[in-house]
Amino acid sequence: MSTSPAATAIPEQRATRDARHDRLFAGLLKACALIVLASLLGAAFATLWGGREAFGTFGWHFLANSAWDPGNQDYGALVPVYGTLATSFIALLIAVPVSFGIALYLSEVAPRWLRTPVASAIELLAGIPSIIYGMWGLFIFAPFFAEHIKPWLTNYLGNNPDDGHPSWVAAHVPFVGKMFASDYPFGASILTAGIVLAVMIIPFISSVMREVFQTVPTRLKESAYALGSSTWEVVWDIVLPYTRSAVIGGIFLGLGRALGETMAVTFVLGNAMELSSSLLDPGASIASTIANQFSEAVGLQKSALMALAFLLFVVTFIVLLIARMMLRRLASREGR
């Protein structure tokens, strides 16, 4: 290498400059990526910090206490936690079979030209802001529920129907009578909130199911068809087992949404801070309690609300963690 010193100096300078820029650029990018991490950790710590007073005052009893009494400064998480879990569970109970049906229809039954438009229409449901679900629930669905669905439920399943005699189901099946007993005349209830939530999460679950159903190798399905399977048998015995982990992942994804949903639930839950055995009575969820009370709360009440938010965050985090791990399992098997 017999070049003059002046000629080598310039590229070398340039190389060091580029290297420096590269390091700076990579550092900037990494810092931005770490912000994602920081916002998750920050949200957990901020709510934990905000809730320290409540956790310190009530300890573990906070989780088991059904009181929510600003007058006596006595707060417990049981009512909102129960409301959150009950509404989400009802939502899953409705949304999972419906989503499976939609995925089945879109991947096996519908004529090809119909698949994309119907799938996009269902996905449109996911794009509607949750406050719109809330308004629809409050003004349209809850009155409809109170007028048409609730009387039927209390009469045929509840403990105290109009004619005064417990229904046959209530008399023979334990708990059902209590679950559907209500003398509260309005539509807002845990069940209503569960149904509205179900409609909200159907597009999430069904689009995951549909997507993973499409990843099943065609030769697998064709082999089953060649052996004489019906469409249903192919879906139930071939497609579903193959995609099981991702389907569970999709369901947990929907559950994560349902647990943290605020607006759609707040409007139709009735916001009653008391525990009721009936699904037709109003209740409260963690998110609805925070939305309703936080701006006016001070002191211990504010701290209790922060503590609730922390619980919600931790639970949704775990649920979403499971969801993503399940979804990833199918992806890794495919070598993606």
Partner 1 sequence: MDTLYLRRRITNAFALALGTAATLFGLAFLAWILWATLRQGIAALDWKLFTKITAYGDQGGLSNAMVGSLIINLIGIAVATPIGVLAGTWLAEYANRTRLGESIRFLNDILLSAPSIVMGLFVYTIIVLPSTVLTHGNTTFSGFAGGVALALIALPVIVRTTDEMLRLVPSTLREAALSLGVPQWKLTSQILLRAARSGIVTGVLLALARISGETAPLLFTAFGNNFMTLNPLDKMSSLPQVIYQYANDPGDTLHALAWAGAFVVTLFVLLLSLTSRLLLSRKVSHD
Q: Is 168 in the site for partner 1 (CB under 8 A)?
A: no
* Chosen residue from 81, 102, 179, 238 binding partner 1 by CB under 8 A: 102
* Chosen residue from 177, 250, 256, 270 binding partner 1 by CB under 8 A: 256
3-state secondary structure of 75: strand
Q: Is 247 in the site for partner 1 (CB under 8 A)?
A: no
Rounded Cα distance between 204 and 89, Å, is: 16
Q: Which of 52, 34, 54 is nearest to 42 (CA)?
A: 34
Query: What is the footprint of partner 1 within residues 295-314 (CB under 8 A)?
Result: 295, 306, 309, 312-313
Burial of 308 (0-12, 13-18, 19+ CB in 10 A): buried
Q: Is 9 in the site for partner 1 (CB under 8 A)?
A: no
Query: One-letter amino acid identity for 258?
Result: A
Q: How far is the CB of 177 from partner 1 (least distance, A)?
A: 28
Q: How far is the CB of 314 from partner 1 (least distance, A)?
A: 10
Q: Is 260 in the site for partner 1 (CB under 8 A)?
A: yes
Q: Is 279 in the site for partner 1 (CB under 8 A)?
A: no
**Nearer to partner 1 (CB atom), residue 17 or residue 172:** 17
* Chosen residue from 267, 270, 276, 301 binding partner 1 by CB under 8 A: 267
Query: What is the footprint of partner 1 within residues 116-145 (CB under 8 A)?
Result: 118, 120-122, 124-125, 127-136, 138-140
| Placement of tokens 């996009």 in the chain | 120
**Half-sphere exposure in the Cβ direction for 80 (13 Å, CA):** 30
Q: Is 161 in the site for partner 1 (CB under 8 A)?
A: no
* Chosen residue from 9, 63, 93, 109 binding partner 1 by CB under 8 A: 109
Query: What is the footprint of partner 1 within residues 64-93 (CB under 8 A)?
Result: none
Burial of 13 (0-12, 13-18, 19+ CB in 10 A): exposed
Over its C-alpha atoms, the chain yields an Rg (Å, rounded) of 27
| Placement of tokens 């525990």 in the chain | 275
Query: What is the footprint of partner 1 within residues 175-234 (CB under 8 A)?
Result: 199, 202-203, 206, 230-233
| Placement of tokens 């979403």 in the chain | 320
Q: How far is the CB of 50 from partner 1 (least distance, A)?
A: 6
Sorted by sequence, the CB contacts under 8 Å of residue 49 that are 6+ apart come out as 306
Q: How far is the CB of 225 from partner 1 (least distance, A)?
A: 12
| Contact status, residue 102 vs residue 202, Cβ threshold 8 Å | yes
